[in-house]
Amino acid sequence: MEQVSQLTEFGKIFLFLIIGILLVSATLFLSRSLSIRRPTPLKLSSYECGEEPSGNSWLQFNSRFYVIALVFLLFDVELIFIFPWTTVFGQKILINADPMWGWLTLIEMFVFVGILLIGLVYVWRKGDLDWIRPEQKLPVAESNIPLSVYDKINAEVYTVKPFFAERPQVQVESIAPANSPVSKPAFKPTFRKPPQA
Amino acid sequence: MTIEQLAFYVISATALLSALLVVSLKNFVRSIFLFFLTLFSMAGLFVFALADFVAVTQLVIYVGGVLVLMIFAFLLSNRELLNNPEASEQSGFLHYLPGITVSVVFLGVLLMVLLKLDPGEFQWIQQSKENTLKPTDNTIHYLGINIMTRYLLPFEVVSVLLLMALIGAAHLARKEKEQ
């Protein structure tokens, strides 16, 4: 008995990809379910390169991301409709059967995309796609000194003290040697104890 | 058992298990990430129905779009809102009783229909006996031709619908910001 394949050729490859993803997830799940978990407050705190973490890591994101994701989703759906069209548009057999086929499909797709482009223009014009830019603040110094004062200072001529290679004789107080042994800089690891209940 | 059957059972078991976990997990973020698994395995099940295009659509729209939107909803929301202590207090058998009743009754209805139904008595099933898909069929080609001929008007109406959805969604999302 000859085995008849129940899957399309594309489907087989697609299944390979999906089963690959599922197996990776299954491995991750297995490692999680088999591992021993004994959480302490210290273990659960996030690692901040030795610093003590402060505040919450759960930040509230800008809601503009959401609008952009929505717009993306709509055009994602549009893409799904375009995809079957690309396989039949401009096919030689179909065009030979009816010469208007190519023009019909082309115009219909232009209408389809054109209507959706109105939406893009709307969103663009309403400023939903605008990103928040950092405001540039030029520093302003409030001072009553006119600029001519600075010009005057700049115009002045300063004489440089003469320099000699020989050190001038100055009485230097000798520092008394410290009695305590010299402490070298050293790394002292400290361990934080978990908060007692 | 062929390898295809094995793959089918593995995928359907993953779909069922992950879907059950999605609704039963208390942690919303975990259930959303498990939903990825559910949708991937659903895409695999579509492949077994010879619906390759639907499978790819599932991946592109649900995994690539809807789930990302769901994750964004989490990123945008406040953590204190999600950690609702009142919800976790209500537990026990009585709390789950309505849900269990509804699902058991629904299972009963499905089983009854399955047992009482005779597939031969419907005319449309009889007629469609010869009209089946073969693995060698180029389904996306048929889809394209049908969209461009028989369903041309619905196809264009869909674009208007998408436009409405886009404008409505952008408007709703913007309104909250202005307050």
Q: Report the complex ipTM.
A: 0.75
Cα gap B44→B9, rounded to integer Å: 11
Q: Extract the tokens encoding A137.
A: 């603040």
With beta carbons less than 8 A apart as the criterion, state whether B55 and B46 touch: yes
Residue A1's pLDDT band (cuts 50, 70, 90): very low
Closest partner residue to A22 among B41, B53, B162, by Cβ? B41
- Residue B22's domain spans which residues? 3-82+138-173
Q: Is the pLDDT of residue B66 over 60?
A: yes
Packing angle of the helix pair A101-125, B152-178 (nearest 10 deg): 10
Cα gap B169→B65, rounded to integer Å: 14
Enter the pTM of the model: 0.70
Work out how many domains chain B is built from and give that number: 1
Summarised one tens digit per residue, pLDDT across range B69-95 is: 888 887 777 666 666 555 555 567 777
Closest partner residue to A73 among B69, B76, B152, by Cβ? B69
Asked whether residue B158 is assigned to any structural domain, the reply reads yes
Q: Which of A65-74, A96-105, A165-174, B57-66 has the lowest mean pLDDT?
A: A165-174
Asked whether residue B112 is assigned to any structural domain, the reply reads no
Summarised one tens digit per residue, pLDDT across range A19-30 is: 999 899 889 989
Closest partner residue to A72 among B4, B65, B144, by Cβ? B65
Asked whether residue B110 is assigned to any structural domain, the reply reads no
Asked whether residue B7 is assigned to any structural domain, the reply reads yes
Q: Does B166 touch chain A (CB under 8 A)?
A: yes
CATH of residue B43's domain is 1.20.120.1200
Shortest distance between the Cα of B101 and any Cα of chain A, in A, equals: 31
Taking an 8 Å cut-off on Cβ atoms, the answer to whether A71 and B166 are in contact is yes
Question: What is the 3 state secondary structure string of B138-178?
Answer: CHHHHHHHHHHCCCHHHHHHHHHHHHHHHHHHHHHHHHHHH
Asked whether residue B115 is assigned to any structural domain, the reply reads no
pLDDT for the residue numbered A180: 63
Asked whether residue B23 is assigned to any structural domain, the reply reads yes
Q: Does B62 touch chain A (CB under 8 A)?
A: no
Which residues from B are below 8 Å from A72, CB to CB? 65, 68
Asked whether residue B106 is assigned to any structural domain, the reply reads no
Write the CB contacts of B50 (distance below 8 Å, at least 6 apart in sequence).
A7, A8, A11, B133, B135, B137, B139
Q: Which of A11-25, A137-151, B79-93, B128-142 has the lowest mean pLDDT?
A: B79-93
Asked whether residue B151 is assigned to any structural domain, the reply reads yes
Q: Does B69 touch chain A (CB under 8 A)?
A: yes
Give backbone dihedrals phi and psi of A154, rounded to 5 degrees, phi first. Answer: -65, -30
Q: Extract the tokens encoding A61.
A: 């994101």
